[in-house]
Structure 1
Amino acid sequence: GKSGVSLLDERPGLMEAVEWIAEGKANGILAPNLDRLARELTVQEAVLSYVWALGGRVFTADHGEHLEDDASDPMRTAMRQMRGVFHQLDRGLIVKRLTEGRTAKGARGGYAYGAPRFGQRSEDGELTPDEQENATAEQMEQWKAEGMSLRAICARANAEGLPSKRGGKWHPTTVARLLSPEAREKARQQSAAARAARKEQQRRERAARLLSQH
């Protein structure tokens, strides 16, 4: 079976099935349940509406056929949407538990998720000190104490072959994040804001594409 979708163009299998319906090669879609068709109620309803608009039918193994909305039977729509709400709630609770578990593990000093910060590495799911990286950080701290600029520290680290976290060359911004807690926090906030902005933009673009297809 196909996994859930965010929108049609994000799941090639679902998009192909819808195209088959539009071309008359298929009469409908069969999925294990609506939860596998869409992760969110709004997407579920959009996908159903689109398939119905093409003259297609939607079936799930746990329910049978999902009939088109009918003004004379509002309970049909309400029950389907209620199932979608609880599917979405269940997924949200799972994500919440996973997030809380990672946060708690990180607070205990364990490796929760993401790339370990400079000076640490992951071993068997736990964070441990990285002696080489810590030695590099101490050397840079010493150069900073001697009055060297970030650009000078960067140039010297590259000249002496001190490895960065990913093995590439050092850059002034990378050195700044390493030596300044404020710079690290600012970079973290900027990264989080950028991810949120990208996610919102993707949502808007997906919604616009779907609406343009009706």
Structure 2
Amino acid sequence: MSQPTCVIYDRLSRLFAEEAPDHRIAACKSYAEARGWKVVHVATDTNVSGASKLEDRPGMREVLAWLPRADYVLAAKLDRYARSVLEFQRLLRAADSTRTTIVTADGVVSPENASIIINVLAAFAEYERDMITARITESKKHFRSRGNHLGGLAPYGYAVSGPVNNKRWVIDETAAAVLREATDRLLRHGASLSGLARELNDRGTLPPADHARQRAGRELRGQRWHSTTLRDALYSPAVRGWLIQAVPGTKRGALTNQPVLDAAGNPVSAGPAILSAEDWSAVRALIDGKARGRGSDRTGKALLLHIARCSECDGPMYRQRRTVNGKDYSSYVCRKGVGKLGIHRPNVATANYIEEFVTADFLRRFGDFTLMRWAEPDGSAVLQLSEVTQQIERLAGNLAQLDPNGTAARVAIAQITALEARQAELQRESAHAVGRWVDTGTTIGSEWRQRDDEGRRALLADLGARLEIRPAVPGAPRRFDAGRLKLSYEGPAWRRGVDPLTASELEADLEEAAWN
């Protein structure tokens, strides 16, 4: 009679020095030797959950491959095999198909009682796993309510500090400075996300993932900033210092995350804010307003793009770049007047002269005007109002089932009272949260001098600038002719949309300011 064969299996959810598998494998070998079994293979899984599928574990795949050639599979305890009844039953079915017996070295499951006791013990193993999961869930809920960091990387702009059970966010000044500068330039200096991303790359500023690796002393991956990377970092509620979670039913992401709210409906703070409420709301509104779908028009770098129009077809005039011997001979051209397929006579004008003309006229009219910025309301008030209303409805439903004179009812009533006060506050914020124009503390002329062409074009658009260019008269001298240009302005965006009488007065003010 041949000697029975045995495969030993061991699994660890986490690898710690005091939990190394050696002593359990040694116990299995002693058990096999006492039974007269020959150990033909030892398989181990490290950092593998007992709830994971059998085929997802490298060591268990080895065990499954050995089943046709082994009489027994041996583990130190039942929970080493699995903490899921479903996965354990899959293992049992696989072993049964090869007439292999599953046993444990602690004697709980032996060849004699395996068929009776094994399913009962597996059920207890799953129960234990559920209890562990419940404890972890409750623990996370508790720490989340306190604003503690729950693991993983901190959001860009923060680092994690504090003892194990009280970790909080602290500001990472290097990263926070990037976010503050980007916000300031987006809101007050006409910058764009793509332009800022290029600058960050040119300056060698590390993007979020590589910044975190450098801080942890890990190898960098050579990643770069993209406009979406910067957008996500600025858009996230985390920059207010709030714990975040995904909107129910959506994947976790910067555009779908929302603040975690406490019992009173307030965002739970995990650390100090990087951006003020006003700046964060404004930058989110700006990002939302500039979101474009695939196939939509996109702006380039020309100063007068979408401002210079052709008098023949009212189409846009595009800047055609041309440099000869270091000199700029660029021009604005209407594409509908070019070549054999043109629908009207050619319309071309020297770019430099036109841009100088528009710049001089614009600054003369509006250079001393105060620059205003549109401040969007903080939309989080509406979001928080919805959450608070739901909490009130849930508590009110529970209250009907409680003893009116009991302690639980008094606690529920106190919670409802606090939530109703917060609800009223949020309703006031939502009802009066209208956008407004805010003084930036600088003049249009001063801001013009600080911006590049992209930012200056934004200023022209804010003032409603429109430049109509007429084709040159055939045979006319080839020099700049301001008579071909008709420059008009709707006026500052913060003065539009008023009643006709006020509009007439503002128009008179503009004319007077232009000539004084």
Give the counterpart letter for 1:8 in structure 2: L
Matched, 1:7 2:68: no
Counterparts of residues 44-63 of structure 1 (less than 5 Å): 44-60=88-104, 61=106, 62-63=108-109
Change (3 A) 1:119 1:98: same
Give the structure 1 partner of residue 62 of structure 2.
16
| Alpha-carbon separation, structure 2, partners of 1:156 and 1:186 | 31
2:152 is paired with a residue of what secondary structure? coil
Give the structure 2 partner of residue 162 of structure 1.
205
Which has the larger strand fraction?
2
**Alpha-carbon contact 1:34-1:44 (below 8 Å) kept:** no
Give the structure 2 partner of residue 97 of structure 1.
135
Matched, 1:136 2:178: yes
Superimposed CA distance per residue, residues 52-87 of structure 1 (whole angstroms, 9 cap, x where no aligned partner): 11111111232213545xxxxxxx3xx643432331
1:170: Cα distance to partner?
1.0
Matched, 1:122 2:160: yes
2:196 paired residue among 153, 156, 172: 153
1:124: Cα distance to partner?
4.3
Question: Sequence identity of aligned pairs in percent?
Answer: 23
| Alpha-carbon separation, structure 1, partners of 2:57 and 2:173 | 44
Change (3 A) 1:91 1:59: same
Change (3 A) 1:56 1:81: closer
Matched, 1:37 2:81: yes
| Alpha-carbon separation, structure 1, partners of 2:58 and 2:246 | 38
Give the counterpart letter for 1:20 in structure 2: W
| Alpha-carbon separation, structure 1, partners of 2:133 and 2:118 | 23
1:139: Cα distance to partner?
0.4
Give the structure 1 partner of residue 230 of structure 2.
175
Change (3 A) 1:185 1:14: closer
| Alpha-carbon separation, structure 2, partners of 1:2 and 1:108 | 38
**Alpha-carbon contact 1:158-1:169 (below 8 Å) kept:** yes
**Alpha-carbon contact 2:54-2:87 (below 8 Å) kept:** no
| Alpha-carbon separation, structure 2, partners of 1:46 and 1:116 | 39
| Alpha-carbon separation, structure 2, partners of 1:118 and 1:98 | 26
TM-score (norm 2): 0.32
1:157 is paired with a residue of what secondary structure? helix
Q: Where does structure 2 lack aligned partners over 5 or more consecutive residues? A: 1-8, 12-49, 211-222, 239-243, 254-516
**Alpha-carbon contact 1:28-1:56 (below 8 Å) kept:** yes
| Alpha-carbon separation, structure 1, partners of 2:125 and 2:202 | 56
Q: Which has the larger radius of gyration?
A: 2
Higher relative contact order (CA 8 A, sep 6+): 1
2:121 paired residue among 48, 72, 83: 83
Q: Give the paired residue count.
A: 181
What RMSD in Å do the two structures reach over aligned CA positions? 2.9
| Alpha-carbon separation, structure 2, partners of 1:186 and 1:36 | 34
**Alpha-carbon contact 2:73-2:101 (below 8 Å) kept:** yes
Superimposed CA distance per residue, residues 4-45 of structure 1 (whole angstroms, 9 cap, x where no aligned partner): 4633333333332332231x2x21101123321112110100
